[in-house]
Amino acid sequence: MSDEDLLNPPRYATQILLKQVISILTAWGMPSKQAHVASYVMVETDLRGVDSHGINMLHQYEETFRRGALNIKAQTKVIRDRTTTALLDADRGLGHPVSVEAMEMAIKKAKSHDVGIVCVTNSHHFGAAGYYAELAAHQGLIGIVTTSTRGISMVPTRGTQPVLGTNPFAFAAPAGKYDPLVLDFATTVAAVNKVKVRKLRELELPAGWVNDGDGQAVLDPNEAINIFDNKNWGGLNPVGGIGETLGGHKGYGLAIFSHILSGAMSGASFSPIRVKNSNTDTPDDLGHYFQAINPESFRTKEDYEADIEVVIETLRAVKPRDPEKPVLVPGEPEQISRKDRKKNGIPINRNLRNLIREIARNANVEYLLENATTE
């Protein structure tokens, strides 16, 4: 095959990808309802162009499942349930189903009591944080989400060794006649999974994503992944970069507070400690944080929406440097991608197809992407 497959890969219909992921998860033993929820979140994430956190993650989930760390038949347990807050135990399960449940619970509390906060403990990776924050926005609420992380990949400001993860934050807000505003970002310059996507696409890393522990940029994604997996020095730079001049200490600080909200408050693990004391079947024990806020607690829905619409229109009216690249608002790139991919399919290059083929074979289910492109 030519490099055209990497630069302009074939596209696949949403329903085919959903069917493929559901077949794999149910073959592993996940109950049908949870498998449908997890699959939908993954494919929706790919629709929005966040390829690092969609079906690309199946490879990591399979590895976690095969070594016995992931409880594929998990049943969520309510540990605490108060008027505006709750704590859920994910029972060592995949993070998507419990996260949808947690945000829906936070939404219900916010509609009744103006604010709802639900934390989750004993979980695994949940995909893209922005998906859950946007659930609140579609219900007329402001959503805030953050999570602790599985790995240790961020080198803190002034450090040489990784100690924190990518610890993302997501915010979403209803925007009246416009699509919700959605901001979803890692507290590192890029997420580990974005490095893995660059590897799958056989692309170099941008300078500034990863450093080698001596402050030198790592451009080879294979070298970067080797650092993540096998080295005790080097790793991802925090948002703002490797130094303090451009605010790297701010990204580092955000990551700490992400863990406070999602990890320390829920009682979930702290990755540097867990990794040192883990066995093959040790669960990730991640913590998640979900908050919903009702703007009508403060003013009328109409007044709030009118102000947000003015904000969006003012930002979009800013003169761009490049007329071909207008100023966008948070969430707009994902909405543009979603409209395109919903119509034309989700691009899956040969390296990712090969991974999915192997995962399907391991699960003894049919590989559905052989001749199923939208072309």
- pLDDT of 111 reads 98
- pLDDT of 375 reads 55
**Which of helix, strand or coil describes residue 368?**
coil
Per-residue three-class SS string for 300-315: CHHHHHHHHHHHHHHH
Q: What does the pLDDT look like over 2-22, one tens digit per residue?
A: 477 877 899 999 999 999 999
Q: What does the pLDDT look like over 97-133, one tens digit per residue?
A: 999 999 999 999 999 999 999 999 999 999 999 999 9
- pLDDT of 358 reads 98
Phi, psi (deg, nearest 5) at residue 339? -65, -40
Confidence of residue 151 (pLDDT cuts 50, 70, 90): confident
**Could you give all domains of the chain from N- to C-terminal order, each with its CATH number?**
1-66+345-375 (1.10.1530.10), 74-189+243-344 (3.30.1370.60), 190-236 (3.30.60)
- pLDDT of 97 reads 98
Q: What does the pLDDT look like over 311-351, one tens digit per residue?
A: 999 999 999 999 999 999 999 999 999 999 999 999 999 99
Phi, psi (deg, nearest 5) at residue 74? -60, 145
- pLDDT of 275 reads 80
- pLDDT of 6 reads 76
Q: How many angstroms separate the CA atoms of 270 and 262, rounded? A: 10
Q: What does the pLDDT look like over 184-203, one tens digit per residue?
A: 999 999 989 899 999 988 99
Q: Per-residue DSSP letters for 251-288? A: HHHHHHHHHIIIIITTT---HHHHHHT--TT----EEE
Confidence of residue 1 (pLDDT cuts 50, 70, 90): very low
Indicate whether 372 pLDDT > 70: no
**Which of helix, strand or coil describes residue 129?**
helix
Q: What does the pLDDT look like over 285-307, one tens digit per residue?
A: 999 999 999 999 999 999 999 99
Q: What does the pLDDT look like over 55-94, one tens digit per residue?
A: 999 999 999 999 999 999 999 999 999 999 999 999 999 9
Residues 6+ apart with CB under 8 A from 166: 149, 153, 154, 186, 187, 188, 191, 192, 236, 255
Q: What does the pLDDT look like over 213-262, one tens digit per residue?
A: 998 999 999 999 999 988 889 999 999 999 899 899 999 999 999 999 99
User: What is the pLDDT of the chain when averaged over all its residues?
Assistant: 95
Indicate whether 279 pLDDT > 70: yes
- Secondary structure element (H or E) that encloses residue 115, with its range: strand 115-123
pTM of the model: 0.94
Sign of CA dihedral 205, 359, 280, 272: positive
Contact 144, 170 (CB under 8 A): yes
Q: How many angstroms separate the CA atoms of 10 and 344, rounded? A: 10
Smallest CA-to-CA distance from 255 within 209, 193, 190, 186 is with: 186
Indicate whether 280 pLDDT > 50: yes
